[in-house]
């Protein structure tokens, strides 16, 4: 598979471009690309959203930043992919409808032999076309339909530059050490020696205007820190010295209606009761206890859980 149509590579200094990019994978629609080349050289920044198709603050923030971009001041190249998984977006779903693949477990992608072949081919096309040429990646997520997340912005262990950028992101997003997980876009970018950040905001398939504002401001601060100022409005620099959230998701082994007894952002000890699962008659099936100590950084938005689904993020 060779991809010929890359108009963003031919931009002259001071030019911007928006258009559809045919991913070259059968059964998949084109994805929107927003691109700008500054008058001076500098960092190649890639900002991604919509890797999961039911998350909206990232795409809206990428739109807002591009619409406000002052290309005369810009140094380097800015590329925004607001909707990386167009098919999932159209289906208002987390996963690619045609093969039920989770794109954020499929990077850097594969052309053959994958269990979700269409999703793996999309991952491969996006990774080779956009991630390999970039210097810095910021991947914006939210809790999607299933979860609600504490706002947080993170980096991977060993990613010193990414940590500095994340701690300067602002907007109240909690510093976060993202767990190493094969197939995740930001992790695979980190492994490919890119400066890689990931972020979470809210969820429930809402579009939270506060999240859009915080993401947009955070992106401006990242750009200012990379000497590629997007506009006058980056705001004062910040440094969030709080101990980072680390840890990960906890799944339930039982299906049932989850009535949580804790709040997002609360600190819990290992063994603290997170809530109770009930059956259809209101009988308690299981008390769910925290497997590790830490801050509760995500809870279900859809309270009726199936076995294997996420009941919390604690770290």
Query: What residues line the site for Zn ion (CB under 5 A)?
Result: 52, 55, 141
Q: Between residues 145 and 277, which has the closer beta carbon with respect to Zn ion? A: 145
Packing angle of the helix pair 57-68, 209-225 (nearest 10 deg): 50
Quote the least distance from Cβ 94 to Zn ion, whole Å. 7
Q: Between residues 52 and 63, which has the closer beta carbon with respect to Zn ion? A: 52
CB-based contacts of 49: which residues, under 8 Å, 6+ apart?
55, 57, 58, 59, 61, 62, 80, 81, 82, 83, 84, 139, 140, 141
Quote the least distance from Cβ 137 to Zn ion, whole Å. 14
Alpha helices by DSSP H, listed for 96-244, are 117-126, 160-167, 185-191, 209-225
Quote the least distance from Cβ 266 to Zn ion, whole Å. 23
Quote the least distance from Cβ 104 to Zn ion, whole Å. 6
Alpha helices by DSSP H, listed for 157-248, are 160-167, 185-191, 209-225
Strand, coil or helix: 247? coil
| Structural contact between residues 79 and 121, judged by C-beta atoms closer than 8 angstroms | no
Q: Between residues 52 and 174, which has the closer beta carbon with respect to Zn ion? A: 52
Beta-carbon count within 10 A of 116 CB: 20
Q: Between residues 206 and 289, which has the closer beta carbon with respect to Zn ion? A: 206
User: Could you tell me which residues are beta bridge partners of residue 286?
Assistant: 277
Q: Between residues 55 and 99, which has the closer beta carbon with respect to Zn ion? A: 55
Structure tokens at 4: 């010929």
Quote the least distance from Cβ 58 to Zn ion, whole Å. 8
Quote the least distance from Cβ 47 to Zn ion, whole Å. 14
Structure tokens at 81: 């992919």
Q: Between residues 257 and 302, which has the closer beta carbon with respect to Zn ion? A: 302
């Amino acid at each position: 598979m060779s991809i010929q149509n890359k108009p963003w590579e031919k931009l002259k200094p001071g030019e911007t471009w928006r258009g559809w990019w045919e991913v070259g994978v059968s059964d998949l629609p084109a994805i929107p690309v927003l691109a700008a080349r500054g008058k001076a050289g500098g960092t190649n920044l890639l900002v991604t959203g919509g890797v999961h198709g039911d998350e909206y603050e990232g795409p809206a923030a990428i739109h807002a930043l591009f619409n406000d971009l002052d290309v005369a001041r810009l140094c380097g190249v800015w590329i925004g992919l607001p909707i990386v998984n167009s098919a999932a977006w159209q289906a208002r779903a987390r996963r690619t409808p045609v093969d039920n693949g989770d794109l954020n477990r499929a990077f850097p992608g594969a052309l053959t032999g994958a269990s979700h072949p269409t999703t793996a081919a999309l991952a491969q096309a996006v990774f080779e076309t956009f991630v390999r040429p970039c210097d810095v990646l910021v991947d914006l997520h939210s809790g999607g339909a299933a979860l609600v997340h504490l706002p947080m912005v993170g980096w991977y262990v060993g990613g010193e530059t990414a940590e500095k950028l994340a701690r300067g992101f602002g907007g109240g997003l909690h510093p976060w050490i993202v767990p190493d997980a094969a197939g995740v876009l930001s992790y695979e970018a980190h492994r490919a020696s890119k400066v890689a950040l990931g972020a979470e905001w809210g969820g429930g398939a809402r579009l939270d205007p506060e999240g859009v504002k915080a993401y947009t401001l955070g992106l401006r601060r990242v750009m200012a820190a990379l000497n590629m100022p997007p506009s006058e409005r980056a705001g004062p620099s910040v440094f969030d010295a709080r101990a980072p959230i680390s840890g990960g998701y906890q799944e339930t082994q039982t299906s049932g209606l989850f009535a949580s007894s804790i709040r997002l952002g609360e600190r819990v000890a290992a063994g603290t009761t997170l809530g109770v699962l009930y059956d259809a008659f209101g009988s308690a099936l299981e008390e769910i206890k925290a497997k590790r100590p830490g801050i509760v950084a995500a809870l279900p938005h859809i309270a009726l859980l199936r076995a294997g689904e996420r009941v919390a993020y604690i770290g």
